[in-house]
């Protein structure tokens, strides 16, 4: 008997849109409904590459902009064997940020095109569903003070938001926009329904390749 594969589900959005909260709730809900589900997040700060990224984000070290972009991408590629293994075992993966954050954040810096930023991530496992938690950056700002990490300024987040909007014009990716200004439970209900549908749809489909 062949086991059906798990779905690759990604949550994206600007900082404080509620991605982490919603990823945790989704994994829990899927598990409670008897499905296998695990959460992953990028950057994964536990690896050697992830520690370089973490130190950069915490402003403990400086890295050249192209270099850090490639490190973020490498941090995804190093997880690909594990991701494929889990998906093939029938485990649904719920991922907090993926290549789209990679492109949106670097291309918000001067001199970086969307095309250049996408290149290192071409061929990654393609998400079956990418849910963009839509929240006006000014509303996100009102959810609390920005932290002290790099990129946590309103001006930068507005540019990131525009880059996400450009990325969402690409119809080769299964984007769904979720209104994240509502209550946690309302947002969760939509995310759960969309996820259950895509899990059923993807189980007999091959894993695709992103942007290729
Ligand atoms: N970030 C995240 C990037 O700049 N490139 C990437 O490829 C990814 C995955 O790192 N401000 C940025 C977005 C966030 C920061 O994310 C850390 P988090 O979810 O706060 O750990």
Nearest residue CA, atom 21 of ligand 1? 43
**DSSP reduced 3-state for 132:** strand
Report the complex ipTM: 0.99
Q: Residue 191 C-alpha to ligand 1 middle, in angstroms?
A: 21
Q: Residue 42 C-alpha to ligand 1 middle, in angstroms?
A: 7
The pLDDT of residue 14: 84
Looking at the chain, list the stretches that DSSP marks H as alpha helix, in order from N- to C-terminal side: 19-32, 48-57, 65-77, 80-88, 99-106, 114-118, 137-142, 154-167, 184-202
Q: Residue 15 C-alpha to ligand 1 middle, in angstroms?
A: 9
End-to-end CA gap in the chain? 31
Residue 64: what are its φ and ψ, rounded to 5°? Answer: -65, 145
The pLDDT of residue 2: 56
Residue 112, burial from CB neighbour count under 10 angstroms (0-12, 13-18, 19+): middle
The pLDDT of residue 139: 86
Nearest residue CA, atom 5 of ligand 1? 102
- What string of pLDDT tens digits covers the 212 residues of the chain? 457 999 999 999 988 899 999 999 999 999 999 999 999 999 999 999 999 999 999 999 999 999 999 999 999 999 999 999 999 999 999 999 999 999 999 999 999 999 999 999 999 999 999 999 999 878 887 887 778 899 999 899 999 999 999 999 999 999 999 999 999 999 999 999 999 999 999 999 999 999 99
- Residues having CB within 6 Å of any atom of ligand 1: 15, 42-43, 57, 72, 97, 101-102, 105, 151
Nearest residue CA, atom 18 of ligand 1? 43
What is the C-alpha to C-alpha distance for residues 201 and 16, in angstroms, rounded to an integer?
Answer: 30
Contact 36, 6 (CB under 8 A): yes
- Can you name the residues that pair with 93 across neighbouring β-strands? 8, 38
The pLDDT of residue 78: 99
Nearest residue CA, atom 11 of ligand 1? 151
What is the C-alpha to C-alpha distance for residues 203 and 5, in angstroms, rounded to an integer?
Answer: 5
Q: What is the pTM of this model?
A: 0.97
Q: Residue 101 C-alpha to ligand 1 middle, in angstroms?
A: 6
């Amino acid at each position: 008997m062949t086991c059906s594969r798990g779905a690759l589900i990604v949550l994206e959005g600007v900082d404080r849109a509620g991605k982490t909260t919603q990823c945790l709730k989704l994994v829990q809900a899927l598990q409670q409904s008897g499905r296998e589900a695990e959460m992953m997040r990028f950057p994964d700060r536990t690896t050697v590459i992830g520690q370089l990224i973490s130190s950069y984000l915490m402003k403990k070290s400086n890295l050249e902009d192209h270099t850090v972009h490639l490190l973020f991408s490498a941090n995804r590629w190093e997880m690909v064997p594990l991701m494929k293994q889990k998906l093939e075992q029938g485990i649904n993966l719920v991922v907090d940020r993926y290549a789209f954050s990679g492109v949106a954040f670097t291309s918000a810096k001067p001199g970086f095109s969307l095309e250049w930023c996408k290149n290192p991530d071409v061929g990654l496992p393609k998400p079956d569903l990418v849910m963009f938690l839509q929240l006006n950056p000014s509303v996100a700002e009102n959810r609390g003070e920005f932290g002290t990490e790099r990129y946590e300024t309103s001006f930068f987040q507005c540019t990131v938001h525009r880059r996400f909007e450009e990325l969402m014009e690409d119809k080769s990716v299964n984007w769904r926009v979720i209104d994240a200004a509502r209550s946690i439970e309302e947002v969760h209900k939509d995310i759960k329904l969309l996820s259950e549908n895509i899990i059923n749809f993807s189980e007999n489909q091959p894993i695709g390749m992103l942007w290729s």
